[in-house]
Structure 1
Amino acid sequence: MLTQARLIRVNQATQAVEPMLAESWTTSDDGLNVTLALRRGVAFSDGQPFTAADVVFSFAAAYDPKSGSLLSDSVMAGGKKLQVEAPDDHTVVITFPAPFAPGIRILDALPILPRHKLEAALKAGTFRQAWGLTTPLGDLAGLGPFVVSGYQPGQRLTFSRNERYFDKAADGTRLPYLDRIVIDIIPDQSAELLRLESGQLDMLTSEISPDAYAALKRAADQGRVKLLDLGVSRNAEGLWFNLKPGVFAGDPRAAWLQRDELRRAISLAVDRQAFADTVFLGAGVPVYGPETPANKRWYWEGLPQTPHDPAAAKQLLAGIGLTDRDGNGTLEDAAGRPARFTLLTQKGRPSLERGAVVIGEELKKLGVAVDVVTLDSSQVVQRFLSGQYDAVYFNATKSDLDPGTNPDFWFSSGSAHPWNVEQKTPATEWERQIDALMTKQIAARDEAERKRLYDEIQKIFYEHQPIVYFVAPRIYAASSARVLNVTPSDARPQLLWRPEAVAVVH
């Protein structure tokens, strides 16, 4: 986003597809072929001309199995690669393997990389290690509005203006407006907010926590900061268990820890309105599935609303062998072992920390013990990607509102299918059903049919609840009063998804 550019961009405020490196495109009548005309006169930050060969290379790097790219799933259609050709330096022809309704929205996921810098590494099978913390900054090159000019591990990243950036403002002014962006790494949001209020920061990279709202509202009323209400989030934090088959082999909890009934019981046990009031200070709405009301186009209006019913939750737990056998208030399995699991979440994020505590407290009332462990964000992600966990409470963010552009989340083979990533074949029958429905959904050219299929997917998801959702927060973002030209979005980074347009008053 800061140092790289893409062929097109999905406007995070309007959801419209906008030209970037591709200035125009045409689509065949059957939707299978798209011909993109590239901007002329564009160069990488090191001066090397940008051509269609860089686009072909970027797709090859994303698809290369040795690279282990997390972007691979995101630029596939129905789990199959796109065919990408460059008939000349300024034209790219993309052929979809089958009808693909989201079309070129998928290209928003792929940064265009410099072939002249990275081709040798790709051929040598070392692409993944080509750019790292020890790479000299002068060896990095990109097409984005900024270049990396400084790095202090664990503390700060500095980005300077890319003097060769291709885009201009409507009045012809060369972008970006800013000469420099400094990103301070502050793991604790309370400290981050104090620095914003005191004028030491200009912007936050994520939404503010509800308990900071009152102080920031006072600062906004005094003209020291700008406070923006962005509405209900398109994403909600959720709880999921490790559903990888065999991961709990030899663990007596295997008899109940991966059962649908456990997740449905948790959904019944948590009072969502009380959750919203406690975790988000009332600034949130209860949710029961993978989409929130903010996704007006794809939200299933028929989604059942799970009631708060602890008694029904206890019945479900009894059905998988968890009962209070000795009257001490703790549920045990048939051998008398207490029902207990560990829940990982991110430290330094109040909504995640409080949410995990609330979940633990609600399950304690049922007799289930929850050990909450807080870790750095990168550690949480590493643990669930490697399958080293019982359960996680985290934000499994989908990258786009159109479900067809989130195959890494929906397909069982996906790298962002968090409860059981990158399955070679679907581990469950319901995941097999979702795979089949998603294949039809992304191929259907009739929007009503796509909606019907996605409603069915949400229905299956609700029945099995691989992720239990509770509340979608209301999103507030804040910046210093001197920041201009911000186009806010409820998706992260709320205020910096168009960094080239941002300006400040000196």
Structure 2
Amino acid sequence: MVSLVVGLAGCSREPEVSREEAQLLREQRRSTLLQQTSYRPGPPEYRPGQPGGTFVATLTSDPKSFNDLTARDGDTRAIVNHLSDYLADYDVYRREFIPRMASFSVEVDHDQDKLRVFYTLRDDLYWTTPDSDPETWIPVTADDIVFWYDQVEGNPSLRLPGYPGQFVEMPDGSSARVTVEKIDTRRVVFTFPRIVANPILSTNMRVWPRHIFEPAKAEGGSEALLDVLSVDTDVTTIPSVGPYHIVEYTPGVRTVMKRNPAYWRRDEAGQRLPYIERLIYRIVPDENTAYLLFREGTKDSHSVRPEQLDELLRIGTRDFSIYRGGASLGASFFTFNQNPANINPQRHRWFMQREFRQAMSSLLNRPRIARQVYRSLASPAYHFFAPPNPFFDEDIRLEYTYDPERALELLAGIGITPGEDGLLYDDRGNHIEFTISLGAENTAGIDMANIFADELENVGITARVRPIDFQNLVERLTSTFDWEVVLVALGVNYWPESGSNVWQSSGNFHLWHPLQESPATEWEARVDYLYNEGRFTLDQERRKEIYDEFQRIILTELPLLYTVHPFSFFAIRDRWQNVFFDTLGGSDSMYYFLQGPPSAGGDMGSPNS
């Protein structure tokens, strides 16, 4: 009887597949999927269109504010970003700054080691509210820029991300501020106390309405600035200089935005942008609901996750196209708290050791994450700078890739070894264990954290995965510092000088140990030096030497363990024209227009739609 069961089991066993064969099958499957998508990268060549139609998108949570100062999560930013604009723009294809709300020029005085940047605002910029009379429109002026730079971003008590970037380190080690001065109604000048290599990056900023924020500060002080334009505000009173106004906010249901007829941008034919008349952001419980709405046809576009791609491509008759954009430029990362405030001293001792972080990187199975979380539609993150960064170097790569044996050797070198129970203990007898926190809405992140925890468990380390509310997570990272390990993401580092509040040890978003009065470690002191030296070095060969060392330090000390670069996919209804998509420029909805008459987009105007 036993032999019969064994024989039957043997007959039903699937043929064994080698690791190389499995990898080949995955690559073939990935190639098949990619071939079924469309590829239409930039730089885009837009056709003139006509205004009209309603575009339906989704948010997975209510906006937390309509104030740029407190808009930290992606759903809130999706709304707030439509209300303002930048002075300048960075053309990712030409790799240079171009005028946006203002033209600019740079004046360099080599003899005095001084530099000035002049901005001249356009003459057609206005703060407007929905359906307002043009006589009530308020011009955007130099006073808006000066107020926002000096009184808001330059306010040390607010600890805003842009604050550290207002200062430069002088040759004697002191710190001096970049100042701004009004020249006339439309012109300002930023004066640098020494020459920098990328002054537009340092001075480019969004502009927000002084006539709203200044009275609030005068009445309630700096903290009152954070309470302006809360979600309780009558949205029809919120001014915009951006492409849209907010015309409706129904909590838990939707946010509606209407085209701003005073927005300054125009197409080549002189037609004002954007073309889309109304944006409806339906508020849904989660990403799965958003996906289902797209599948059933009541949502116009969708950022397709890799696990959804196969299912969408199997739909026989489709009224939408799926575009592929390549591997994302950014990647989420794990980071270990090295701040002595509000963390268990023993864990702090582990996390401060470079070999510990190198071992953690050697236990982070990036290829497994790419396979299991992203269906092999992702690539491991082995570089620090993104490819568009002018100092990206393919040869400067992460050394500590997945290798459990090497991880155990690194840990043994700092006194962390297995006990009789197979668990890892430090030289004081403490079991190696910690908690990984991340945003509860980050479903892919939860999967990544669980894979990391599984790999850690395999060598005797206990990691607990704790999804929490995103605002709670932000508060822990920026205020209470009560966390152990976290999984988050930052923006793409297009320029080596970007992220002054992250890479400098004094920065308020130097996540692993922010706001240091002086560098806590020698390597952080060196990074501070290189960051500043690179900012002030004009010779390109020398700049490359500086930023090569900068990258190598980050990839050796590993304050951040980058995970993977997911492939980007974007699905959109075929009735929308002028669609380009890639990971460099994304897809600019400002130029979408309807293929048919404007009404073809559907109104979906009922609050219950």
Q: TM-score, normalised by structure 1?
A: 0.90
Which residue, 288, 291, 301 being the options, matches 2:395?
301
Cα 1:297/1:253, change in 2 over 3 Å = closer
Q: Is the 8 A contact 2:263 2:273 kept in 1?
A: yes
Report % sequence identity. Answer: 27
Report matched runs for 1:279-290 at 5 Å: 279-290=373-384
Match of 1:119 in 2: 214
Q: How many residues align?
A: 496
Q: Deviations over 1:327-356 (max 9, x none)?
A: x22112345442211111233434312211
Q: 1:73 corresponds to which letter in structure 2? A: P
Match of 1:43 in 2: 126
Aligned equivalents of 1:255, 1:105: Cα separation in 2: 37
Q: Is the 8 A contact 1:52 1:89 kept in 2?
A: yes
Shift of 1:390: 0.8
Shift of 1:293: 4.4
Which residue, 455, 464, 470 being the options, matches 2:548?
455
Q: Is the 8 A contact 2:106 2:115 kept in 1?
A: no
Q: TM-score, normalised by structure 2?
A: 0.76
Q: 1:103 corresponds to which letter in structure 2? A: P
Aligned equivalents of 1:15, 1:103: Cα separation in 2: 15
Report matched runs for 1:435-474 at 5 Å: 435-474=528-567
Which residue, 363, 366, 375 being the options, matches 1:269?
363
**Secondary structure in structure 2 of the residue aligned to 1:216:** helix
Aligned equivalents of 2:281, 2:91: Cα separation in 1: 23
Is 1:65 matched up with 2:156? yes
Match of 1:313 in 2: 407
After the TM superposition, which of the residue ranges 473-482 and 1-10 deviates more from structure 2? 473-482
Aligned equivalents of 1:156, 1:12: Cα separation in 2: 33
Shift of 1:13: 5.3
Match of 1:256 in 2: 350
Q: 1:378 corresponds to which letter in structure 2? A: Q
Is 1:373 matched up with 2:463? no
Aligned equivalents of 1:375, 1:425: Cα separation in 2: 32
Cα 1:301/1:48, change in 2 over 3 Å = same
Aligned equivalents of 1:13, 1:487: Cα separation in 2: 13
After the TM superposition, which of the residue ranges 269-278 and 310-319 deviates more from structure 2? 269-278
Cα 1:375/1:176, change in 2 over 3 Å = same
Match of 1:427 in 2: 520
Q: Is the 8 A contact 1:209 1:280 kept in 2?
A: yes
Match of 2:142 in 1: 52
Aligned equivalents of 1:150, 1:237: Cα separation in 2: 33
Which residue, 178, 181, 194 being the options, matches 1:82?
178
**Secondary structure in structure 2 of the residue aligned to 1:2:** helix
Runs (5+) with no aligned partner, structure 1: none
Q: 2:467 corresponds to which letter in structure 1? A: T
**Secondary structure in structure 2 of the residue aligned to 1:100:** coil
Which residue, 362, 369, 376 being the options, matches 2:455?
362
Q: Is the 8 A contact 2:304 2:570 kept in 1?
A: yes
Cα 1:166/1:292, change in 2 over 3 Å = closer
Match of 1:482 in 2: 575
Q: Is the 8 A contact 1:232 1:473 kept in 2?
A: yes
Cα 1:11/1:197, change in 2 over 3 Å = farther
Q: 1:358 corresponds to which letter in structure 2? A: I
Match of 2:201 in 1: 105
Q: 1:278 corresponds to which letter in structure 2? A: Q
Q: 2:306 corresponds to which letter in structure 1? A: P
Aligned equivalents of 1:81, 1:200: Cα separation in 2: 51
**Secondary structure in structure 2 of the residue aligned to 1:134:** coil
Aligned equivalents of 1:305, 1:337: Cα separation in 2: 28
Q: Deviations over 1:70-89 (max 9, x none)?
A: 33235555575422122111
Q: 1:111 corresponds to which letter in structure 2? A: R
**Secondary structure in structure 1 of the residue aligned to 2:526:** helix
Larger Cα-atom Rg: 2
Aligned equivalents of 2:142, 2:101: Cα separation in 1: 10
Cα 1:213/1:139, change in 2 over 3 Å = same
Which residue, 180, 191, 195 being the options, matches 2:289?
191
Q: Is the 8 A contact 1:67 1:127 kept in 2?
A: no
Is 1:500 matched up with 2:594? no
Which residue, 260, 268, 291 being the options, matches 2:385?
291
Q: Is the 8 A contact 1:289 1:461 kept in 2?
A: no
Q: Is the 8 A contact 2:436 2:487 kept in 1?
A: yes
Shift of 1:410: 1.3
Is 1:19 matched up with 2:99? yes
Cα 1:447/1:152, change in 2 over 3 Å = farther
Shift of 1:260: 1.9
Is 1:351 matched up with 2:444? yes
Report matched runs for 1:108-257 at 5 Å: 108=204, 110-124=205-219, 125=221, 126-186=224-284, 188-204=286-302, 207-219=303-315, 222-249=317-344, 251-257=345-351
After the TM superposition, which of the residue ranges 445-454 and 377-386 deviates more from structure 2? 377-386
Aligned equivalents of 1:267, 1:185: Cα separation in 2: 37
Q: 1:210 corresponds to which letter in structure 2? A: P
Aligned equivalents of 1:291, 1:26: Cα separation in 2: 27
Match of 2:88 in 1: 8
Is 1:383 matched up with 2:476? yes
Aligned equivalents of 1:24, 1:127: Cα separation in 2: 29
RMSD of aligned alpha carbons: 2.5
Cα 1:156/1:74, change in 2 over 3 Å = farther
Q: 1:298 corresponds to which letter in structure 2? A: F
**Secondary structure in structure 2 of the residue aligned to 1:345:** strand
Is 1:401 matched up with 2:494? yes
Aligned equivalents of 1:240, 1:272: Cα separation in 2: 15
Runs (5+) with no aligned partner, structure 2: 1-80, 130-136, 170-174, 601-609
**Secondary structure in structure 1 of the residue aligned to 2:183:** strand
Q: Is the 8 A contact 1:236 1:472 kept in 2?
A: yes
Shift of 1:107: 4.1
Q: Is the 8 A contact 1:411 1:438 kept in 2?
A: yes
Cα 1:197/1:295, change in 2 over 3 Å = farther
